Amino acid sequence: MDKKQSIDYWLNSAAHDLDVAETLLRNEKYDWCLFIEPTHKLKINSSN
């Protein structure tokens, strides 16, 4: 996996994590939403 593929993987994974967190929030699963959301931020920040 080259650098671009690695970055694309992390960005796609972060987008998925955000989607999951938003779904959990809508369904009032706040504890899991708080667990998932920081992983999204970590992945976005580490790809820059």
Cα dihedral 1, 8, 3, 44 sign: negative
Give the residue numbers spanning the domain of 42: 3-46
| Whole-prediction pTM | 0.65
Say which residues have a Cβ less than 8 Å from residue 27's Cβ, sequence separation at least 6: none
Number of domains in the chain: 1
**Is the per-residue pLDDT at 38 higher than 80?**
no
pLDDT single digits (tens) 2-35? 999 988 988 898 888 888 888 988 999 888 877 7
- Whether the CB-CB separation of 33 and 21 falls below 8 Å is answered with yes
